[in-house]
Structure 1
């Protein structure tokens, strides 16, 4: 079975990330018609169409938007993550970033519309992985699904209450993606070994979104990659994600393009989570 290599954020003080937006930076209209037709799935953003000044922390570069620390467009970092203390080792990150016994406690805010997006996404994760989702009663560490400006999440378990934010345009597939972040996954295109598999065409990336394509290790984070890069991963951008001119931002090494998918966990996604948890 093909296994995917996931980029698991490993920070000694915990993991943080944010949710996706109702709008997308997929430039479908500018892309060729044949490409536009298959680029219906949208890339997640915490604050659609908004960027902020680059901030440099001890662990790398992120953006500050509306008072929040945003990594890779839809990952919300906590204050302790951008200004960590103590050694940042992989083993510490793995222990603090994973949900104990692969159990995620959760609540759904009553104000969130179309709650079936959440329940369907949870059912999908439980059908294909060993991760379990249990309604929260009094547990200290849990996720709340709530209304957001876009689609975003913390990354991994950060301790206490954390959020997966869903705008009205966030689909079930986007929710599956954000849960992936909450479990500790980076975007697939930020893997350490990605240059073996893809070309990043920086000249075609929209201004202000360049950091979405930086390797997580370059940003200052340590983690572990599992398997080979998976072009079908639900955590992977498409070839035209965040394009400024309708030209690809990511291609395979032979120059060919590929589609984004936000329908389901790939076989590689499932295999990677099984290894993690």
Structure 2
């Protein structure tokens, strides 16, 4: 499967494009985080929606810092697709990609309590991991199959690759080039208070990774490799590193 990807893919992966909302400080697990309050939602790293309970809890939530939380039991995700969502093939194609490459199974919901609904949204966004009850992946018209694969990654428990605790070993974050209001999309996710660690080395080809020019304010890179070179965003499909991480998680 080929899905065209560009620097715009990360820009599309926002809950509320062009809205920065109000900066808030809360807690995710035992770690203090900065997030944005937009239209009543707690928005973290641009496209991750946190529940009020998630930003106020002080207990451990993850098994691998910055990477996993709230696993779906037996690696089964029950789901529905809202009838009003256009171009539903981007959902079914994304689900097919996950099922063809991982042990995760997606089953149409009948009466299950915990399930995922794909619906129309202002941008592309998802909760992180299974939160309990009904949860959503929100998709605007510009959200592609590749964006959907990315958002399903969040729903399964994956954070963004560039927020890994060890990312400073692999990349430099050029904060002076980041659009105002989007700085927390690049914040490093600390391992403080969590059991486990990140999976393997940072994966530049991960579908959960931003590209070098994501959220740039001036056309200059926001992320470079340690040697100063740039790299492209990848939204074609799950990388070898993504598959290894999911295999360890589930």
TM-score normalised by structure 1 residue count: 0.82
Cα pair 2:207 2:236 within 8 Å, conserved: yes
CA RMSD of aligned residues (A): 2.2
2:6 paired residue number: 39
Task: For residue 242 of structure 1, report the CA deviation from its aligned partner.
Answer: 0.4
* Pairwise CA distance, 1:61: 1.1
CA displacement at 1:198 relative to structure 2: 0.3
Counterpart-to-counterpart distance in 2, 1:62 and 1:184: 18
Structure 1 residue 39 displacement after superposition: 3.1
Structure 1 residue 204 and structure 2 residue 177: aligned?
A: yes
After TM superposition, the score normalised by the length of structure 2 is 0.90
CA distance in structure 1 between the aligned counterparts of 2:165 and 2:80, rounded to whole angstroms:
34
Indicate if the aligned counterparts of 1:41 and 1:262 stay in contact, CA closer than 8 A: no
- Of the three residues 99, 122, 146, the one matched with 1:149 is 122
Match of 1:108 in 2: 81
Q: CA deviation at 1:153?
A: 0.2
Q: In structure 2, the residue corresponding to 1:150 is in which secondary structure?
A: coil
Could you say what secondary structure the match of 2:125 adopts?
strand
Structure 2, unaligned runs of 5 or more: none
After the TM superposition, which segments of 4 or more aligned residues of structure 1 sit over 6 Å from their partners? 92-96
Q: How many residues align?
A: 239
The alpha-carbon distance between structure 1 residues 165 and 256, as it changes in their structure 2 partners (threshold 3 A), is same
When residues 130 and 64 of structure 1 are mapped into structure 2, their CA distance, relative to the original with a 3 A threshold, is same
Matches within 5 A, 1:47-66: 47-58=16-27, 59-66=32-39
Give the corresponding residue for 1:189: 162
1:133 aligns with 2:144: no
* Contact preservation (8 Å) 1:54, 1:64: yes
Contact 2:68 2:249 in 1 (8 A): no
> Per-residue displacement from partner, 1:47-84 (whole Å, max 9, x unpaired)?
11110221011342111011110000000000101111
Higher relative contact order structure (alpha carbons within 8 Å, sequence separation ≥ 6): 1
* 1:88 alignment partner, SS class: coil
Matches within 5 A, 1:61-100: 61-84=34-57, 87-88=59-60, 90=62, 97-100=70-73
The 2-side partners of 1:38 and 1:263 are apart by 7
Alpha-carbon distance in structure 1 between the residues aligned to 2:227 and 2:233: 18
Cα gap change, 1:89 to 1:70, in 2 (>3 Å): closer
Q: 2:225 aligns with which of 217, 232, 252?
A: 252
Higher mean C-alpha displacement, 40-49 vs 151-160: 40-49
Out of 170, 181, 184, the position equivalent to 2:143 is 170
